[in-house]
Amino acid sequence: MKPPVFHRITDYDRARLPNAYLAEMDSGVSSQDEWEAKTGKSIGYPAWALLYYMTLCRVPPTHPSLVIETGTNLGFSSIVLGQAVADAGGGGAVKTVELDSERRLVAKSNIEKAGLSDTVETFCGDALEQLPVMLDDDRPLVVAFLDGNHLYEHVLKEFELVHDRLEEGGVVIFDNTYRIADDNGDPRVNGALRAILDRWGGNVVDFPFCSWYTPGMAVWQKRPYEDMSVPVWPRG
């Protein structure tokens, strides 16, 4: 694997963050050791802001909708997603899954301290086993944030599960999109995105200078641009 690359900013105004608890936990942070101690392996700023606004601008303000996350970790990206859903209105929900049971408990505590327990529901287990349960929901899936297992085959399997339930205008957001793999290594998220375009089409927009090892985020949109003249909401 290639050497680490970092695009996480620590010298910024915490008032830019969407949630007060998130701002509190990221205060006084200036190094990898400090941010890992306080917020774990979260995407950090400016990726938090990117994730927040992409979600806020995709969630319908007048219709209950569903947002899915894989890879809860300590819950800070879940807080960002939950805050976006809460701010959008419409009575939507976030469902997030974490493989590690101890991390899930920490995440639940952080989500509660952030005031988002009514919006964010946590699940524990392998995402491929839990996603069918999480997706068994009448609300339209409008955003999926895939940030759990980053191996190529696993990313594709997660994507296939959410793709089958994704609303026509929905988006799938990926973290760790930088091409980190050696020539003979697992192509990971970067390779999975290339395969997704080949198999499912759609559009990908890359945001390379955010997040950290592995950096980069990207958003995949299900519906081709030329169809965007047809509004998704409200339905007839």
62-119 tens-digit pLDDT: 999 999 999 999 999 999 999 999 999 999 999 999 999 999 999 999 999 999 999 9
Give me the domain span that covers residue 23: 14-227
Q: Looking at the domain assignment, is residue 20 inside a domain?
A: yes
Q: What is the pLDDT of residues 6-41, one digit of tens each?
A: 899 999 999 999 999 999 999 999 999 999 999 999
Q: Looking at the domain assignment, is residue 167 inside a domain?
A: yes
C-alpha–C-alpha distance, residues 9 and 127, integer Å: 29
Given the DSSP bridges, would you call strands 217-221 and 166-175 parallel, antiparallel or unpaired? Answer: antiparallel
pLDDT interval class at 183 (50, 70, 90):
confident
Q: Looking at the domain assignment, is residue 236 inside a domain?
A: no
Q: Looking at the domain assignment, is residue 137 inside a domain?
A: yes
Residues in the chain: 236
Q: Looking at the domain assignment, is residue 184 inside a domain?
A: yes
C-alpha–C-alpha distance, residues 162 and 95, integer Å: 12
C-alpha–C-alpha distance, residues 234 and 236, integer Å: 7
Q: What is the DSSP letter of 61?
A: T
C-alpha–C-alpha distance, residues 140 and 126, integer Å: 23
Domain count, the chain: 1
pLDDT interval class at 226 (50, 70, 90):
low
Q: Looking at the domain assignment, is residue 9 inside a domain?
A: no
Q: Looking at the domain assignment, is residue 4 inside a domain?
A: no
* Longest Cα separation, the chain: 52
CATH number at residue 65: 3.40.50.150
Q: Looking at the domain assignment, is residue 8 inside a domain?
A: no
Q: What is the DSSP letter of 45?
A: T
* pLDDT value at residue 14: 97
* pLDDT value at residue 36: 93
